[in-house]
Amino acid sequence: MTLAIIGGTGLTQIEDLTIIGQERVSTPFGEPSAPFLIGELSGKKLIFLARHGNPHCIPPHKINYRANIWGLKQLGVTEIIGVAAVGGIGAEMGPAKIAIPDQLIDYSYGREHTFFADDLQHVTHIDFTEPYSPSLRQRIIQAAQQAQIDIASQGTYGCTQGPRLETIAEIKRMANDGCDLVGMTGMPEAALAREQELAYANISVVANWAAGIVEGEITMAEIEKNLHVGMANAIALLKATALFSET
């Protein structure tokens, strides 16, 4: 088993990762977001990729999700934890909370969202009933329990197109649909990982209450402050999860 972490906003690098090397991979789909860092976390070898590039400058709708997933597969990765900043919709999902979603709804559009498009020998439909790997999720949840890190152990992640934040009406609709969290990068990453038969789970870190859940505008200052706290907990959770991994 080789584990990879894809870090999102607020997690462009992991200071505790001992970097052993880096790999650049060219793919038939173009360039990944950044070089893949090969490193050790909690004494376990893993690969880290900055989803938005390093420095953080690729917006959610411009990320080459296919190149990122293809590159990880080329490097022998078998499981991926995607870390993502989100807005909180559900009552339990306040700022700095960490959640391990078990379902998702995709509201994004216009993204290259499949490997199964051209030159096919047959049409392929992946099963996506459980969009996140149940066994990888369980490992993260157990790690959180052992390390006494407070998490929400389930929730529905809604993926919007961005880069703008949502309107009050959009968040009301998402709440009606059953979304607990709203982010911009969860898809097509999860589906592409499934197409490549990679186990994939998401750690969501709440940066702000989603639009209209509390009064007032959402500010970048607020997002940065909450992410600072939330990502420190997410890193602790990643370290605890790495301890459980085999390599």
**What residue ranges bind ligand HPA (CB under 6 A)?**
85-87, 160, 165-166, 182-184, 207-208, 210
Q: How far is the C-alpha of 225 from the C-alpha of 221, rounded, in Å?
A: 6
Single out the residue of 174, 130, 58, 46 nearest to residue 138, CA to CA. Answer: 130
SS3 148: coil
What is the closest distance, in whole angstroms, from the C-beta atom of residue 209 to ligand HPA in the complex?
8
**DSSP label at residue 33:** S
Query: In terms of CB distance, is 102 or 166 closer to ligand HPA?
Result: 166
- Residue number with the shortest CB distance to ligand HPA? 87
Query: In terms of CB distance, is 184 or 238 closer to ligand HPA?
Result: 184
Query: In terms of CB distance, is 171 or 191 closer to ligand HPA?
Result: 171
At residue 129's C-alpha, the angle toward residues 123 and 134, to 5°, is 120
Query: In terms of CB distance, is 21 or 109 closer to ligand HPA?
Result: 109
What is the closest distance, in whole angstroms, from the C-beta atom of residue 60 to ligand HPA in the complex?
8
Q: How far is the C-alpha of 90 from the C-alpha of 55, rounded, in Å?
A: 32
Q: How far is the C-alpha of 45 from the C-alpha of 35, rounded, in Å?
A: 16
DSSP H or E stretch at residue 172: helix 168-177
Query: In terms of CB distance, is 34 or 85 closer to ligand HPA?
Result: 85
What is the closest distance, in whole angstroms, from the C-beta atom of residue 233 to ligand HPA in the complex?
16
What is the closest distance, in whole angstroms, from the C-beta atom of residue 75 to ligand HPA in the complex?
28
